[in-house]
Structure 1
Amino acid sequence: MTPLVWKNLSPARRAAALRRPAQAARPQIADAVSRLVAEVRRGGDSALRRLTAKFDGAKLGSLRVSAAEFAAAATALSSADQRALRTAYRNLRRFHAAQAAKPVRVATMPGIVCEKVTRPIERVGLYVPGGSAPLFSTALMLGVPAQLAGCPVRVLCTPPGRDGRVNPWILFAAQLCGITDVFKVGGAQAVAAMAYGTPTIPKCDKLFGPGNAYVTEAKLQVSRDPAGAAIDMPAGPSEVMVIADRTADASFVAADLLSQAEHGPDSQVVLVTFSEATAFQVALEVQNQLKLLPRRAIAEAALKKSRVLFASSPAEAAEIANAYAPEHLILQLENPRRLLPKITAAGSVFVGPWTPESLGDYASGTNHVLPTYGWARSFSGLGLADFSRTMTVQEATPRGLARLGGTVARLAAAESLVAHRRAVTVRLQKLSR
């Protein structure tokens, strides 16, 4: 991990220090994704089978997970495994159910009532990453709020293994959330299938879920197409920033950094600290703990693109965090709550030494689908509201129109919108008879 002293860096070097590794390849990724999306739109299910064989090594008959496969998944997990998933499911339901919007009904003046009502999104597409580490936890993170929102059509796509099967943990999680439309398709091609529809996979109104740089780019491309689908947020390769002072346990910090580095070679971890001694202790722990990881090679690749930044004060550390806008921000400081008000841009914050990021990844109750690439400056993490849309409603009585109509007619005339004005005055004339 490259060490840099923040106060000694020019603005250009600061920007370079916080640049995500995958961004350098963005033009090539965009071009490749564009071709994949076009291939799926042309070829439908046959294109999906061809691409699944190419990228996942699985030759499929049916793209849909069968009832028999769901039943086999339930028997494949031990009772202890099932209990763990149910605990995570319950905590997620508790936290997300508390986010339910209350109806708004206000009489803005006598005879004029304005309302705001919530409706579920009709058709939602849920993407669950697979590959070397199938993220069954994402099935819960997407499935729980979609279930609570009452979305009528819930489609889940995830890459199969080489044996053509979906990970049983993913299928059991989907069952907990009442999802039966699960398809063995991954990558940018899954995003295209859910955005535009195929003979087998329903077209969705909005797409959700994290993924690698190709999945993220596919989501961005289909969201710009009126014939495509809306998306939750740009959620790409995982990242973490840890702010640690001399009181931090170096083994905890190292474990948190490695828990993100093992996601993939395009993940990024950043340590912000205040002394070389702390950085040295963490570096030693990282090397010791790396030896214990089955995914050591992946973590090492991610660490090569990562950084250690030396800050002169907690306030400067907060400035660095807000400039980076990390997906995950861990505060391992003496009195970490004191720094929290200064944090304005992060997907999710983990406060204190006993709050590893893994809690939020699996079972604390918060959602782990979070903005990456600095999008935390303008996007929030996933929540219940993302699976619904609101509508405003207004109703006027004759008395209310009589009170407000003159104001609206004057404002419409000021904008030279005569038809707008007449829509009011024809009614006022009727009332005056």
Structure 2
Amino acid sequence: MSALSQRVGVGGWSGSWPPTLATVLNRIDLRIPGALPSGADLQRLLPRAGLDVTVATEQVRPIVEAVREHGARAVIEATHRIDKVTLAALRVPAGELEAAAQALDPALREALGTAIERARTVHSDQRRQEVTTTLAAGGTVTQRWRPVRRVGLYVPGGLAVYPSSVVMNVVPAQVAGVESIAVTSPPQRDTGLPHPHILAACALLGVDEVYAVGGAQAIAMLAYGTEESEPVDLITGPGNVWVTAAKRLVRGVVGIDAEAGPTEIAILADDTADPRHVAADLISQAEHDPLAASVLVTTSPELLAEVERELAAQVTATKHTERIGQALSGSQSAAVLVEDIDAGLRVVDAYAAEHLEIQTRQPRAVAERVRSAGAIFVGAWSPVSLGDYCAGSNHVLPTGGCARHSSGLSVQTFLRGVQLIEYDERALREVAGHVVTLANAEDLPAHGQAVTARFPDADGVAGDARGGAA
């Protein structure tokens, strides 16, 4: 039987919770000893959202182009049409930021303070040092790191509100030394402003340039600027598929961190995992969005059965039952059965999850074998929720398989490497012949002439720019 025919399950549930246990998660059975597919064949077997970024890109292109051509007017029109909010101005008045901070619940203020402190501690250790390499007497190359001048930080605010994402975006930018920071977040229908918790987090971090704009129009506003806002050099932050699509469209006009779309969790578990923990963690990420992905990769059919029973019980007891049920039963979520941990590692590397939990025997040893994940949470006491808020790590992470080539947000995201090359006459003379030889080999003789012109007598130069002997 081919690997493709091993995929079984029923998705697309859209009724009241709970459905029958058999349809809580789609199932993909890859217990095929010695025959697990690899590369693209394995990736095709794994769950992904039905609406991908490529499709969404064409749908948001008119919004992005309208903002580029018409500025604030197009932003206001898109916000009215999509968010049902009429904006008088894009920028949030400074007084609103301070008022939100003053009204903040003391417990939430303390929690945000802890998140800020831990994030700042971790990110401060990510600073890069200037390094000078001496290749010869008088010949050095210095690697310097310089922050981008201005950044635009996107903070989601649709189905859920994320003051924690303010922390995750702003802290590494500040640690990197970015001089100009603009935050944008969707307006609430009742106030026309971002959620007060987001405004308060900005105030606590000393950010006073905040815009009440969300979605693709926010990304376009940051990239192209408007009458009210200066364009940025780099855009970071998570968002839904429409935000991610807009980031893809403006890449090149500005830099972006990565394509951080609807959230994902993958859990690699064996029979030692606690099914209550596994179910709770799958639910925690499904709570974000109906398009959120929750994937369990396990060697144990018994654990899977227990997890499904826990899901049926726990989902009914949580607040966002409908949203969670749609996410868990969607095409982007599944339980993947594998023969052993080695096969499980191949699966999670192919999936390249935004968040990967390891709940196995010797979880640290297993985690160290993972090649592709945005962040790895090791053992039973390191749930993804910890990383969302107070682990000190960053929760802005690549999704949709982008962890195969992209990293999570960090201080390095906001830095550019600049090399300083400094040679004196003696050091240049020492290598001049090799430069000329390589230039001639590439049929670029003027490159060689730029060196030999500095040595009119040609002494010590192995060959001249015409390709002959010195």
How does the TM-score come out when normalised to structure 2?
A: 0.88
Q: 1:5 aligns with which of 26, 29, 32?
A: 29
Contact 2:53 2:245 in 1 (8 A): no
Q: 2:219 aligns with which of 191, 213, 230?
A: 191
Q: 1:418 aligns with which of 424, 445, 464?
A: 445
What CA distance in whole angstroms lies between the structure 1 residues aligned with 2:136 and 2:49? 55
**Paired AA for residue 110 in structure 1:** A
Instruction: Give the match's secondary structure for 1:330.
Output: strand
Instruction: Give the match's secondary structure for 1:41.
Output: helix
Q: Which residue of 2 aligns with 1:221?
A: 249
Deviates more, 1:88-97 or 1:270-279: 270-279
CA-to-aligned-CA distance 1:129-174 (integer Å, 9 cap, x gap): 1112011111111100111111121111110100212212212222
What CA distance in whole angstroms lies between the structure 2 residues aligned with 1:96 and 1:278? 37
Instruction: Give the match's secondary structure for 1:195.
Output: helix
Instruction: Give the match's secondary structure for 1:427.
Output: coil
**Paired AA for residue 84 in structure 2:** G
CA drift of 1:10 comes to: 7.8
Instruction: Give the match's secondary structure for 2:336.
Output: strand
CA-to-aligned-CA distance 1:367-394 (integer Å, 9 cap, x gap): 1111111111111111101101010111
CA drift of 1:25 comes to: 7.6
Instruction: Give the match's secondary structure for 1:410.
Output: helix
**Paired AA for residue 404 in structure 1:** V
Q: Which runs of 4+ in 1 moved over 4 A?
A: 8-14
Contact 1:191 1:218 in 2 (8 A): yes
Which residues in structure 2 correspond to 1:222-261 (within 5 Å)? 222-224=250-252, 228-261=253-286
What CA distance in whole angstroms lies between the structure 1 residues aligned with 2:422 and 2:435? 15
Asked if 1:18 is matched to 2:43, the reply is: no
What CA distance in whole angstroms lies between the structure 1 residues aligned with 2:104 and 2:306? 40
Instruction: Give the match's secondary structure for 2:164.
Output: helix
Contact 1:223 1:229 in 2 (8 A): yes
CA drift of 1:404 comes to: 2.1
Q: 1:166 aligns with which of 194, 198, 215?
A: 194
The number of aligned residues is 428
**Paired AA for residue 232 in structure 2:** C
Which runs of no fewer than 5 residues in structure 1 stay unpaired? none
Contact 1:119 1:389 in 2 (8 A): yes
Q: Which residue of 2 aligns with 1:365?
A: 392
Q: Which residue of 2 aligns with 1:101?
A: 128
**Paired AA for residue 379 in structure 1:** S
What CA distance in whole angstroms lies between the structure 1 residues aligned with 2:224 and 2:415? 20
CA-to-aligned-CA distance 1:156-206 (integer Å, 9 cap, x gap): 111010021221221222223332111000001100111111111210111
Could you say if the C-alpha distance between residues 24 and 51 of structure 1 is closer, same or farther in structure 2, counting changes exceeding 3 Å? closer
Instruction: Give the match's secondary structure for 2:455.
Output: helix
Which runs of no fewer than 5 residues in structure 2 stay unpaired? 1-24, 460-470
Identity across aligned pairs (percent)?
40
What CA distance in whole angstroms lies between the structure 1 residues aligned with 2:449 and 2:302? 75
Which residues in structure 2 correspond to 1:247-396 (within 5 Å)? 247-305=272-330, 306-396=333-423
Q: Which residue of 2 aligns with 1:182?
A: 210
Q: 1:204 aligns with which of 232, 239, 257?
A: 232
CA drift of 1:430 comes to: 7.2
What CA distance in whole angstroms lies between the structure 2 residues aligned with 1:363 and 1:10? 38
RMSD of Structure 2 on Structure 1 (CA): 1.7
What CA distance in whole angstroms lies between the structure 1 residues aligned with 2:53 and 2:430? 60
What CA distance in whole angstroms lies between the structure 2 residues aligned with 1:79 and 1:136? 15
Asked if 1:130 is matched to 2:153, the reply is: no
CA drift of 1:283 comes to: 0.9
What CA distance in whole angstroms lies between the structure 2 residues aligned with 1:36 and 1:301? 28
CA drift of 1:428 comes to: 1.3
Q: 1:143 aligns with which of 170, 176, 193?
A: 170
Instruction: Give the match's secondary structure for 2:133.
Output: strand
